[in-house]
Structure 1
Amino acid sequence: MAVADLVRALASGLADGAITAEELIAKVRRGAQVMEKIPTLFERDEHFRVVDRPRPDCAWVFDGEGAPTEKLDGSNVRLTVRSGHLVRVEKRRNPSKVQKQEGIVDGWYVDTDDHAAEDKWILAAARNTDVSDWPDGEHACEALGPRVQGNPLGLEKHTCVPFNLRVPALPDAPRSYSELRGYLAALESRFAPGHLAEGIVFHHPDGRRAKIKRKDFPLSA
């Protein structure tokens, strides 16, 4: 569809009441979130450790909004599903140092390659994941397993966990600097009991996200 035709169709839908402005904005935000870098809850010091100063764009977390889930430590991928079948596997590519200097901050997804050694275990995780009951669409996931990112969760097999479907919830997660620091220091992974969780991701209903990791905090009090 041409861009002009798409704009006209959206305008017509808004005018006819087929979609509301809020619904349209929410869809845009949900589509954007898989590419945008998730902000950390607090500002950082010169040593890149967080300090007790909330970031303004994460104020909604401290207002009690959004649902906390476990942040899984693996490799970010995106799986496309059609009628219960895996039809595409993509991996996240982050901007290079030069690209960052040019103002490119957010990453993007590129196709994996069956013949590329660096994609072997991502593809193994994707193909070992049962997507038969997943809804059609693109699903941002974390690829995990013995040969992915050092396997900090001690998993015995490769798999992909979709952020929108199966990431463990952490309903008891606190929201203040001091409480989060203590909570994360001893937080056991809900996905892989017996191992420490990497961190927390807060999800706002409108698609915004914010994160905090155990290693973000200073090593000493």
Structure 2
Amino acid sequence: MDEGRKRGRPRKDPATLARWTPPEGWSRLVAWISPEEKKALKHVAVEADVSVADLVRALASGLATGAITHEELVGHVLRGKVVMEKIPTLFERDERFHVVDRPRAECAWVFEGAGVGTEKLDGTNVRLTVRSGHLVRVEKRRNPDKAQKQRGIVDGWYVDTDPDSGEDKWILAAAGNTDVSGWSDGEHPCEALGPRIQGNPLALTDHLCVPFDFQAPELPEVPRDYHELRDFLADLESRYSPGHLAEGIVFHHPDGRRAKIKRKDFPRAA
């Protein structure tokens, strides 16, 4: 704080907003944040010797002038959110959990022709955090158990892997074999694949991680009709590991929405 600047007197009524006339054209922004986020904002503001309001305005100014992009600011949050949310299956299901020819409302964009299809890789979901081309953190997906589901916890989350745990050995091997030197800084949701993961349906010889957002093979020729998709998936060869069947397809909308369909979702032909 500037030594020459005197500390102002406390307000008589702290609950009342201080009177201040904003410049012409300015507007007030109100947002709800978690205790952890509030603490982080205060910490950065103290380090920078500015108010939290000035810090928020600096972020907004950086976006307005192009000094920082929205991808840099919230990209890792959006990527994490997209992955941990359940990706809806294209069609409704029957009592045997097979899909039926009735598109789900939230997947209407797929049938309207939006987005692009990519191969759904059959492994285990992990998240790699990269800084300056180096891997700094490896996490794995944890799904809620039966008791947690009864309490209303339905979405999965990520937890750190343990180098001393035999359970995490092959995930860490996959992460260690993955070249992240060209990846952008941030958290990258991936599929960990390899000989000791999920039965290795693609018959890979090495363990590695494939990021969902930029390395999954594209399938531009994918049909978007129930019967055509069923026939297309029946013998769809993997683009990632030719000679083996692909597990399914994930459709990606430009705004981040996704939808999926797997070969085993369809009832077996009579």
The alignment's TM-score, normalised by the length of structure 1, stands at: 0.90
Match of 2:186 in 1: 137
Identity percentage of aligned residues: 70
Counterpart selection for 1:95 from 136, 144, 153: 144
Match of 1:120 in 2: 169
Residue identity opposite 1:159 in structure 2: L
Match of 2:38 in 1: 3
Match of 2:7 in 1: none
The alignment's TM-score, normalised by the length of structure 2, stands at: 0.75
Q: Indicate yes or no: 2:101 matched with 1:66.
A: no
Q: In the aligned structure 1, how far is the partner of 2:37 from the partner of 2:148?
A: 30
SS at match of 2:231: helix
Residue identity opposite 2:179 in structure 1: D
Q: Indicate yes or no: 2:82 matched with 1:47.
A: no
State the shift of 1:10 in Å: 5.3
Q: Indicate yes or no: 2:201 matched with 1:152.
A: yes
Instruction: Between the two structures, name the one with larger relative contact order (CA 8 Å, sep ≥ 6).
Output: 1
Q: 1:67-216 maps to which residues of 2 (within 5 A)?
A: 67-216=116-265
Moved more, 92-101 or 69-78: 92-101
Residue identity opposite 1:18 in structure 2: A
| CA offset digits 1:142-201 (Å, max 9, x no partner) | 000000000000001101001112110000011111110000001000000000000000
Q: In the aligned structure 2, how far is the partner of 1:30 from the partner of 1:82?
A: 16
Q: In the aligned structure 2, how far is the partner of 1:213 from the partner of 1:158?
A: 23
State the shift of 1:66 in Å: 1.1
* Residues 97, 173 of structure 1: alpha-carbon distance in 2 compared, 3 angstrom cutoff: same
Contact 1:45 1:51 in 2 (8 A): yes
Q: In the aligned structure 1, how far is the partner of 2:241 from the partner of 2:141?
A: 24
> Structure 2 stretches of 5 or more lacking a match?
1-35, 43-51
Q: In the aligned structure 1, how far is the partner of 2:162 from the partner of 2:37?
A: 30
Contact 1:79 1:89 in 2 (8 A): yes
Aligned length: 219
Match of 2:9 in 1: none
State the shift of 1:18 in Å: 2.3
Q: In the aligned structure 1, how far is the partner of 2:269 from the partner of 2:184?
A: 45
> Structure 1 stretches of 5 or more lacking a match?
none
State the shift of 1:34 in Å: 1.8
Contact 1:37 1:105 in 2 (8 A): no
Moved more, 58-67 or 194-203: 58-67
State the shift of 1:83 in Å: 1.1
> Is the strand fraction higher in 1 or 2?
1
Q: In the aligned structure 1, how far is the partner of 2:163 from the partner of 2:220?
A: 39
Q: In the aligned structure 2, how far is the partner of 1:159 from the partner of 1:217?
A: 29
Contact 1:29 1:206 in 2 (8 A): no
Contact 2:194 2:205 in 1 (8 A): yes
Larger gyration radius, structure 1 or structure 2: 2
* Residues 89, 16 of structure 1: alpha-carbon distance in 2 compared, 3 angstrom cutoff: closer
